[in-house]
């Protein structure tokens, strides 16, 4: 693929832009982002160094912004990231995130869990009743919930996913009580908004982020216990081959957000029909280079292919959630 901006992931572009905007403006932007987005962009900001002026110019041009030439990129990154995160999130939320980004610990109640390492979340809820675990995972973002689930035994995973799929909303009082339980393990107060969590769609979203082997095992077990429920969950899952059903403009949007390496690895395990769809939605030169890369790429581990496909699917879901693309499928609306 072409050199320059096309080599930068969306997260890295966002990090460069925020570093260029300055602390106050960057902090205002971060206030409107989700925990996992702040963590991802913050991590990239902390890692930035030796950013070329060409890359900065290209990023700024893409976002149609005008900034002063002196960006301060690469100078005192730790202090810069710390100040921006504190301004955006306040001392409490920023404290734990700064530790994880710059040194490698947390907010309060249920919201706290969104900012924590997945292994730590698993340890906190491990001894809770499966129904409590199901509610907590429903409250988290699907990718984080999926990662937390990997730290549980097989039988617990199946039980929890089935419970998540049958949750039909939670009473505000029950959610507040659960928040209080979580809060006792930390400190301070937090306001929990009434949330409609759980359900078949939630279960499907979480399964989408598990590796293929674990996902298949859980689905097989669910279908053995409740075939109709298993089929309902499967109908709502979006897998890599489903990309072939997307509109060309949506494929193009996804391609702009993923790296060449991830695309090559992901397509190594794809059907020819999907490969051709991707080629059609690239420039002739980029398509030729991608074909060459695929042919030159030797055998790769299935786990690497699976990881790359999950990354691409994660980008697709993020774009769908923001309304930039439509994942289509049975429930998609038609336009005339």
User: What does the domain layout of the chain look like in residue ranges?
Assistant: 5-105, 114-236, 240-321
Find out whether 119 and 100 touch, Cβ atoms under 8 Å: no
Average pLDDT over residues 250-279: 90
Token output for 94: 């920023």
Mean pLDDT, the chain, whole residue set: 75
CATH of 114-236, one of 1.25.40.340, 3.30.110.60, 1.10.220.30, 3.40.50.300: 1.10.220.30
Token output for 205: 């979203």
- Ramachandran region of residue 238, left (φ > 0), alpha (ψ -120 to 50) or beta? beta
pLDDT digits (tens, 9 = 90+) for 129-161: 888 888 888 888 888 889 999 999 888 999 999
Euclidean distance between CA atoms 218 and 145, whole angstroms:
15
Residue with tokens 């973002």: 141
Find out whether 112 and 105 touch, Cβ atoms under 8 Å: no
Asked whether the predicted pLDDT for residue 332 surpasses 50, the reply is: no
Find out whether 192 and 109 touch, Cβ atoms under 8 Å: yes
Asked whether the predicted pLDDT for residue 251 surpasses 90, the reply is: yes
pLDDT number for residue 234? 80
pLDDT digits (tens, 9 = 90+) for 16-31: 877 777 777 777 777 7
pLDDT number for residue 131? 87
pLDDT digits (tens, 9 = 90+) for 107-127: 356 777 777 788 888 888 888
Query: How many residues comprise the chain?
Result: 336
pLDDT number for residue 106? 36
pLDDT band at 184 (very low <50, low <70, confident <90, very high): low
Q: Say which residues have a Cβ less than 8 Å from residue 81's Cβ, sequence separation at least 6.
A: 42, 45, 46, 98, 101, 102
Residue with tokens 């039909």: 168
**What is the DSSP secondary structure assignment for residue 329, as one 8-state letter?**
S
Token output for 9: 């992931």
pLDDT number for residue 126? 85
Give me the CATH code for the 240-321 domain, please. Answer: 1.10.220.30
pLDDT digits (tens, 9 = 90+) for 199-237: 888 888 888 778 777 888 898 899 898 888 888 888 778
Find out whether 26 and 81 touch, Cβ atoms under 8 Å: no
Sign of CA dihedral 29, 31, 37, 42: positive
Give the range among 36-40, 222-226, 304-308 with minimum mean pLDDT.
36-40
pLDDT number for residue 331? 37
Euclidean distance between CA atoms 115 and 33, whole angstroms:
13
Euclidean distance between CA atoms 115 and 108, whole angstroms:
9
Q: In 3-state terms, what secondary structure has residue 82?
A: helix
Give the range among 87-91, 218-222, 249-253 with minimum mean pLDDT.
87-91
Euclidean distance between CA atoms 148 and 209, whole angstroms:
11
- Pick the closest to residue 60 from 50, 49, 47, 69 (CA basis): 69
Euclidean distance between CA atoms 294 and 264, whole angstroms:
6
pLDDT number for residue 183? 67
């Amino acid at each position: 693929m072409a050199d320059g901006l096309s080599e930068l992931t969306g997260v890295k572009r966002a990090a460069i832009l925020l570093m260029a905007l300055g602390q106050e403006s960057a902090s205002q932007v971060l206030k409107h982002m989700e925990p996992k987005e702040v963590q991802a962009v913050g991590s990239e900001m902390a890692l930035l160094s030796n950013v070329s002026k060409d890359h900065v110019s290209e990023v700024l041009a893409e976002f149609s912004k005008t900034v002063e030439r002196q960006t301060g990129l690469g100078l005192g990154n730790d202090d810069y990231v710390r100040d921006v995160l504190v301004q955006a999130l306040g001392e409490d939320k920023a404290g734990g995130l700064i530790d994880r980004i710059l040194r490698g610990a947390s907010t309060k109640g249920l919201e706290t869990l969104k900012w924590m390492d997945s292994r730590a979340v698993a340890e906190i809820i491990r001894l809770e009743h499966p129904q409590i675990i199901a509610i907590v995972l429903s409250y988290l973002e699907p990718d984080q919930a999926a990662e937390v689930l990997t730290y549980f035994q097989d039988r617990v995973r199946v039980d929890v996913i089935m419970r998540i799929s049958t949750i039909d909303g939670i009473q505000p009082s029950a959610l507040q009580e659960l928040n209080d339980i979580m809060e006792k393990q930390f400190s301070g107060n937090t306001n929990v908004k009434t949330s409609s969590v759980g359900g078949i769609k939630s279960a499907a979203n979480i399964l989408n982020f598990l590796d293929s082997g674990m996902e298949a095992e859980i689905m097989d077990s669910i279908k053995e216990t409740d075939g109709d429920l298993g089929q309902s969950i499967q109908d709502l899952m979006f897998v890599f081959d489903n990309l072939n059903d997307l509109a060309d403009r949506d494929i193009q949007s996804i391609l702009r957000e993923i790296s060449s390496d991830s695309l090559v690895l992901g397509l190594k395990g794809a059907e020819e029909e999907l490969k051709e769809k991707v080629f059609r939605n690239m420039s002739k030169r980029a398509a030729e280079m991608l074909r060459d890369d695929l042919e030159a790429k030797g055998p790769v581990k299935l786990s690497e292919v699976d990881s790359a496909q999950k990354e691409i699917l994660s980008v697709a879901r993020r774009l769908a959630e923001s309304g930039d693309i439509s994942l289509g499928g049975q429930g998609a609306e038609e336009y005339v």
